[in-house]
């Protein structure tokens, strides 16, 4: 079974440019999450999809960030325009079960992350 | 609100010695606790989790963790560390919500 994959592995952009990160979850996983780790600090939750619907986007820092999951398969996270403080590692994770019941016990499997550097 | 604390930024041990990585947590509901490991230039790998039941949880690569409700701790342990265990370890907690809250991470260095 293939794991969670993320593309690109690294991205270096200028301040004000746009970047789109992609995540392909494990096949059959309804839940997809985005997290990020900035400047070696804690890994912070950004948002959660259940299939194609946003379940929780309380961690999105501001409206420069836009996440989509069309068709309930892969997801993209767009940063437009990018700022210096957006630099960090963006992780995607997926877990199997959908719905509120029992979701808290599911293991989230993480991808390798995308390292974003904004200059 | 839920939170996790990993009080040690770094842990250094000699190969063959016991390894302990500390974690304490705070949640308002039922604690679901996880340990992840990040090897250099790799993503986060799941090690083990506590949901309910036996307080001693066994996971991958010979790691185990003990859930202690009274001390709100979930320390990660390995009886005999290997050089290949050198990595960054994250403790995480979820309550009845979906999202994980992570600690700041502990860098483990095992010297030969």
For A42-73, write each residue's pLDDT tens digit: 899 999 999 999 999 999 999 999 999 988 89
CA A2 to chain centre: 18
pLDDT of residue A1: 63
- For residues A97 and B58, give the distance between their C-alpha atoms in angstroms, rounded to a whole number: 23
CA distance B92 to chain A (A): 9
Facing residue for B43 by CB, picked from A41, A105, A110: A110
CA distance B46 to chain A (A): 7
Q: Does B102 touch chain A (CB under 8 A)?
A: yes
CA distance A91 to chain B (A): 8
pLDDT of residue A18: 97
Facing residue for A104 by CB, picked from B43, B90, B98: B98
CA distance A63 to chain B (A): 20
- For residues B97 and A101, give the distance between their C-alpha atoms in angstroms, rounded to a whole number: 10
How many contacts (CB atoms, under 8 Å) link A and B?
61
The partner residues of B32 in beta bridges, in order of sequence, read B94
Instruction: Pick the residue of B26, B43, B51, B100 with the most A CBs within 10 A to test the interface with A by mutation.
Output: B43
In the numeric block, the tokens 């606790």 are attached to: B33
Closest residue of chain A to B104, computed from CA coordinates = A42
- Cβ distance A110 to B46 less than 8 Å, yes or no, reads yes
Q: In angstroms, what CA-CA distances link A23 with A6, A37, A57, A110, A111?
A: 5, 16, 16, 10, 8
Residues of chain B with pLDDT > 90, as a percent, come to: 80
- For residue A8, is the peptide bond before it cis, meaning its omega torsion is within 30 degrees of 0? yes
In tens, the pLDDT along B34-52 reads: 999 999 878 899 999 998 8
In tens, the pLDDT along A2-17 reads: 799 999 999 999 999 9
In tens, the pLDDT along A70-119 reads: 888 999 999 999 999 999 999 999 998 755 554 556 899 999 999 999 99
Stretch 10-69 of chain B: residues touching chain A, C-beta under 8 Å: 30, 32, 34, 36, 42-46, 49, 51
- For residues B104 and A68, give the distance between their C-alpha atoms in angstroms, rounded to a whole number: 28
Q: In angstroms, what CA-CA distances link B86 with A22, B9, B10, B15, B34?
A: 29, 13, 11, 10, 19
What is the 3 state secondary structure string of A78-98? Answer: EECCCCHHHCEEEEEEEECCC
- Give the N- to C-terminal CA distance of chain A in Å, as an integer: 37
**CA-CA-CA-CA torsion sign (B79, B83, B84, B90):** positive
pLDDT of residue A52: 92
Q: In angstroms, what CA-CA distances link B63 with A33, A63, B111?
A: 26, 41, 18
Contact between B19 and B78 (Cβ < 8 Å): yes
- For residues B34 and B45, give the distance between their C-alpha atoms in angstroms, rounded to a whole number: 11
Contact between B33 and B42 (Cβ < 8 Å): no
């Amino acid at each position: 079974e293939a794991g969670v994959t993320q593309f690109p592995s690294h991205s270096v952009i200028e301040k004000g440019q746009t970047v789109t990160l992609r995540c392909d979850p494990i096949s059959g996983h309804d839940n997809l999450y985005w997290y990020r780790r900035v400047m070696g600090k804690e890994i912070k939750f950004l948002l959660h999809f259940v299939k194609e619907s946003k379940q929780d986007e309380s961690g999105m820092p501001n409206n420069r960030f836009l996440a989509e999951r069309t068709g309930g398969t892969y997801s993209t996270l767009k940063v437009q325009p990018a700022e210096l403080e957006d630099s960090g590692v963006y992780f995607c994770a997926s877990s199997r079960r959908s719905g509120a019941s029992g979701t808290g016990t599911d293991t989230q499997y993480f991808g390798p992350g995308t390292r974003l550097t904004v200059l | 609100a839920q939170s996790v604390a990993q009080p040690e930024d770094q842990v250094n041990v000699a190969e063959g010695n016991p390894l302990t990585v500390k974690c304490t947590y705070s949640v308002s509901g039922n604690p679901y606790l996880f340990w992840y490991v990040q090897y250099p230039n790799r993503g986060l790998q799941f090690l083990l989790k506590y949901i309910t039941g036996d307080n001693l949880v066994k996971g991958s690569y010979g790691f185990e963790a003990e859930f202690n409700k009274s001390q709100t701790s979930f320390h990660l342990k390995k009886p005999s560390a290997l050089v290949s265990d050198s990595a960054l370890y994250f403790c995480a907690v979820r309550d009845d919500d979906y999202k994980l809250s992570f600690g700041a991470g502990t860098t483990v260095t095992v010297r030969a």
